[in-house]
Structure 1
Amino acid sequence: MKNKGIEDQSYYVENIRNNYIFPFSLLNIIIWIKYIFVVSYCDMWDEIPIFAYCYFAFSIVLWVVLFFQIKISKESFSINLIRRYIMVNIVVGYNIAIGYGNIYFLNMIDHFNLINIWLLYLSLVALSAFGIYMFGTNSFKEYKTRKSEFSKILGGIISLLATGSIMILGFFVPTVYDVHTDIFYSGILVFCVHLLMIRTFACYVLLKESIKEHGVLI
């Protein structure tokens, strides 16, 4: 029984530490190529907006952090370490979706004042991520309460509505190059990140249940 508990806890930790976000993050390369294409096509080399530089630098830092998280296994275990793994996965994953959506704003920056739409877009991504967190952390408990069931349902509804709103937003934003679909596709990327994060949240909940029952075995 103890060996089974050790195997289970090790499995959960490993799947949280390496939840396949890194291969997914390789989409950043495609996003960077699209950024370069937009800047070249619009001849914006002398006026690249600050958010493009920030996204590029932030993505590089996240990539390095995630790489070391996957490649370097900590000998000491703690719940705080697991939470740090989860936080890195969340930030890396949704940064990819936001980066793709920002291609639209990069295209339109010289044509419209889009600050309100941009803030709405970021708010919808954050709301969708919060909803999937509520759903994931309340869906895999062995003993469910009315509160956890309500949180699971509410989180699922919030996440679906917010993700759907991102996709719908893509068809109502102003455009001159027919690039509004970048926001729509970023909504699809948000949904893909959700699928990866649900797996992570499941392992996190099951790990806590195992520790509660057997104590820390790894």
Structure 2
Amino acid sequence: MVFVISLQGGMAVGKTTLAKTIEKKYKNIHVLYEDPYPIVQKRKELKLDIHKKEGFVHNQRLFIQAEIERFKNLPEGIVLLDRGPEDIEFYTLHLPKSIGENWDIEMELNQELRELRRCRSNLILYLDAPVEVLRERKAKDETRSRKSFDHHLRLHHQEKSWYKQLNDTMILDASFKTKQAVEESVVDILHKKNVL
């Protein structure tokens, strides 16, 4: 049996840091990290322009197919995803609006989205922080470039609302907590849910 937990939230909120801490401390949890780079590389090779409908649809089809494949091959036990299928669904549906386009993505990717929606996390932990906190954390973190940071910020409030309406989502305020306090909150939730 597989129990899937996905960490969601804005860029620089602390998802990867939390995932690494949990991976070190809890050997019974399989931690899988977001790795968009192979698809980004393929997009470059195919010269896809994601600001045009055809390029965006092709790009998202690649991301959706990769996530479905990853989900089919999850290891048995407790799995923690640094982002997950819900993240890909959100950006597939909402990114076009953020660049001023009104494409009917539900129609364009109907079959792919239906299959992606079968890949659901059992528990979604949404780490939340105000935009100014995310900007400050990004500025302090020199380990990652986060080139699409500003673009993602445009969707920040919409993203939180979208996750709130999904079943099994828990919103955690990670804005002014220490890394240890965020970890303790998450571990407490996992104990209460009888996951650990």
Query: What TM-score bracket applies, with the shorter chain setting the length?
Result: under 0.3
Higher strand share: 2
Larger Rg: 1
Q: How does the TM-score come out when normalised to structure 2?
A: 0.26
More helix by share: 1
